[in-house]
Amino acid sequence: MSQQQFEVTVGLEVHVQLSTESKVFSRAQSRISHESSVAEEKANVNTTPVCAGHPGTLPVLNKKAVEYAIKAGLATHCRINKKSVFSRKHYFYPDLPKGYQISQYDEPLCEEGFLMIHPKGLESKKIRIQRIHMEEDAGKNIHMSGFSLVNLNRAGVPLIEVVSHPDMSRPEEASAYLKALYAVVTYLDICDGNLQEGNFRCDVNVSVRPKGQTKLGTRAEVKNVNSFRFVEKAIEYEAARQIEVIQSGGEVIQETRLFDSAKGVTISMRSKEEAHDYRYFPEPDLLPLIVTENTIEGIRSKLPELPEAKRQRYIKDYQLSEYDAGVLTATRELAFFFEETLELMGSEKKGDPKTYKQVSNYLTGEVSRLMNEAQKEINQSRLQPQHLADLIRLVLDAEISSTNAKVVIAEAWESGKSVDQIVKSKGLKQVSDTASLEPIVDAVISKHPDQVAQYQGGKTKLLGFFVGQCMKASKGQGNPQLFQEMIKKRLG
């Protein structure tokens, strides 16, 4: 069978770290501080006897963490179960001092939701969410040469685990789902969203089967992938590997694998446990979690506008393309920037579709390019909505060329200087009076007699050449529209 005769099935389990002040079952601080990174933190400073699993200690559930988990459930259209139960999931590992993780098993907090995804160039698709349960994170082992260290700062940090149905069949769908979920939890402000520090990480279940076969193939689970790009790479590699195993007469085994991002390959880690290996049983130290209708509705009433709704509204109200609306609403910061810029455009331009288009174009174009280049979010730069509003006003009034507009954005991104300051100090204002442009047109025409002859002989395509020469001679400051008219008139 060739590769085309197989289909790939992908399901994701995403661990989202909730940004509560304290841990999920103890009063230990959950986060070091918003400024310092995990790498800079001191080991074992945020621990209590509960985190360290001392005998006789008792867990107490963090109300804020429950509220955050319900928010996530409502925002992904899940049913919120009025009663859910915490269970012990047993396994032995040095970073898990109790010998079990408190999680939820057969009675999770949220069930049966979905997220819409809009992968670029593919059909939009509804990805069903099987469940969202609450659990605690484990600590961290640090392996040195010859010995290992254990840091329990992360032990007991609240997590939700969002489990999708195996509804995805392409790498791009998986990354689109991951981005959609990331947007939801960051819009809700329940997760810091720092991918490098593992605030948002996913396990990828991949299986392949011959097309037409109803039974799913044996799956392998790729652990802890923490980037949108890596999830695609891991699926591509894993699907190809499994197809090769089957094609060469072998059998895919159920196992847990690791993704090596440097080499772009997955490596076998251990054979995958079945649920019964964990010896789940209800946590006797915690009562079942009961939430009332009132609590749920109270939380629902305070939900912000979510990315999918915002995206729809941008398409409808601002006549943006599906793609542009998707880019602008991908993060809360970018959407806020877009809306704030429009707000600052002044009453006359604010309601004009041309304005929407310009603001959108600059944000999805030049600004996104700068963000990628610097590997920064928009709020980590010095660029402010006021810059973009001032600049687009100049563009719309033809007082600056689009080339020079890019220069202004790059400068504002770096220095934060006002548009007015930048335009003045760099002399970027567009010259739109014929009298000052006339000598430039004269010079260009007399410098290129051959092209003039060709143009007058019918090769009118050369108009662009003349305008280009004039722009160059005016150091980008001449109004290209005006140059075009003047040349036409002179040579016509």
List of residues contacting Mn ion (CB under 5 A): 161
Give the separation between CA 269 and CA 175, rounded to whole angstroms: 23
Cβ–Cβ contacts within 10 Å for residue 193, how many?
19
Find the DSSP H helices in 189-288: 228-247
What residues have CB less than 8 Å from 450, skipping those under 6 apart? none
Query: In 3-state terms, what secondary structure has residue 321?
Result: coil
Q: How far is the CB of 159 from Mn ion (least distance, A)?
A: 7
Residue placing its CB nearer to Mn ion in the complex, 103 or 358 = 103
Q: Which is nearer to Mn ion, 16 or 252 (CB)?
A: 16
Nearer to Mn ion, 160 or 419 (CB): 160
Closer to Mn ion by CB, 125 or 133: give it: 133
Task: Tell me the closest approach of the beta carbon of residue 26 to Mn ion, in angstroms.
Answer: 19
Q: Residue 14 in contact with residue 221, Cβ under 8 Å?
A: no
The residues, ordered by sequence, that sit 6+ positions from 283 with a Cβ below 8 Å of its Cβ are 59, 85, 86, 87, 88, 102
Closest CB 55 distance from Mn ion, rounded Å: 25
Q: How far is the CB of 133 from Mn ion (least distance, A)?
A: 8
Which structure tokens are listed for 13?
Answer: 């389990």
Contact 5, 208 (CB under 8 A): no
Number of helices followed by number of strands (H, E) in the chain:
17, 16
CA gap 193, 200 in Å, rounded: 6
Please, which residue, 158 or 171, has the CB nearer to Mn ion? 158
Query: Rounded to the nearest whole angstrom, what is the least distance from the CB of residue 89 to Mn ion in the complex?
Result: 8
Give whichever of 202 and 252 is closer to Mn ion, judged by the CB atom. 202
Tokens of 376: 């920064």
CB-wise, 137 or 324, nearer to Mn ion? 137
Q: Which is nearer to Mn ion, 231 or 440 (CB)?
A: 231
Minimum separation from the CB atom of position 161 to Mn ion (A): 4
User: Phi and psi (nearest 5°) for 109?
Assistant: -70, -40
Strand positions, DSSP E, 110-264: 110-117, 125-136, 140-143, 148-151, 158-164, 200-210, 220-225, 255-260
**Minimum gap (Å) between residue 12 Cβ and Mn ion:** 12
The nearer residue to Mn ion, 138 or 342, going by C-beta atoms, is: 138
Buried b or exposed e, range 48-69, using 16+ CB within 10 angstroms: bebbbbeeebebeebebbbbbb
Cα 278 to chain centroid, rounded = 33
Least distance between Mn ion and beta carbon 15 (Å): 6
CB-nearest residue to Mn ion? 161
**Least Å distance between CB 108 and Mn ion?**
11
d(CA 383, CA 373) in angstroms, rounded, equals: 15
Q: Are 328 and 364 in contact (CB under 8 A)?
A: yes
Q: How far is the CB of 103 from Mn ion (least distance, A)?
A: 6
Q: 61 or 396: whose CB is closer to Mn ion?
A: 61
- Cα–Cα distances in angstroms (integers) from residue 455 to residues 43, 273, 439, in the given order: 75, 76, 20
DSSP 153: T
